Amino acid sequence: MYNSCHKETMNNQAPARPVVLGKYDITLGGKTISYTLKSSFKAKLIWLDIRSKTGLTVTIPRYYNITKLPDYLRSNSAWILRNITKYCSQTSEPPVTGIRPANTVSYLGKCLKVMQKRNGRGLNVVKLHQNSLIVSLNTSGTDFSSHDLETWMRAQAVKIIKEKVKRFSKQVGVAYNRVVIRDQKSRWGSCSCLKNLNFNWRLIMAPEPVLDYVVIHELCHLKEMSHSKKFWDLVARYCPQWHERRDWLDNHNLELKLPLLTNDRGIGPSVTQTR
Range of the domain at 140: 99-144
In a domain, 190, yes or no: yes
User: Could you tell me if 239 and 196 lie in one domain?
Assistant: yes
User: Could you tell me if 245 and 157 lie in one domain?
Assistant: yes
In a domain, 233, yes or no: yes
Largest CA distance in the chain: 63
In a domain, 272, yes or no: no
**Tens digits of residue pLDDT in 243-265:** 999 888 887 777 787 654 332 33
Per-residue pLDDT band for 169 (boundaries 50, 70, 90) equals very high
Res. 138: pLDDT tops 80: no
User: Could you tell me if 200 and 155 lie in one domain?
Assistant: yes
Specify the higher pLDDT residue, 25 or 258: 25
User: Could you tell me if 164 and 261 lie in one domain?
Assistant: yes
Domains contained in the chain, number: 3
User: Could you tell me if 198 and 138 lie in one domain?
Assistant: no
Tell whether pTM > 0.85. Answer: no
Per-residue pLDDT band for 23 (boundaries 50, 70, 90) equals confident
In a domain, 151, yes or no: yes
Q: How many CB atoms lie within 10 A of CB 30?
A: 6
In a domain, 34, yes or no: yes
Helix (H, G, I), strand (E, B) or coil at 248: helix
User: Could you tell me if 124 and 186 lie in one domain?
Assistant: no
**Tens digits of residue pLDDT in 81-122:** 888 877 665 444 333 333 433 467 788 988 887 777 666 555
Strand ranges in 94-131 using DSSP code E only, listed in sequence order: 104-107, 110-118, 125-129
In a domain, 9, yes or no: no
User: Could you tell me if 59 and 167 lie in one domain?
Assistant: no
User: Could you tell me if 171 and 188 lie in one domain?
Assistant: yes
In a domain, 70, yes or no: yes
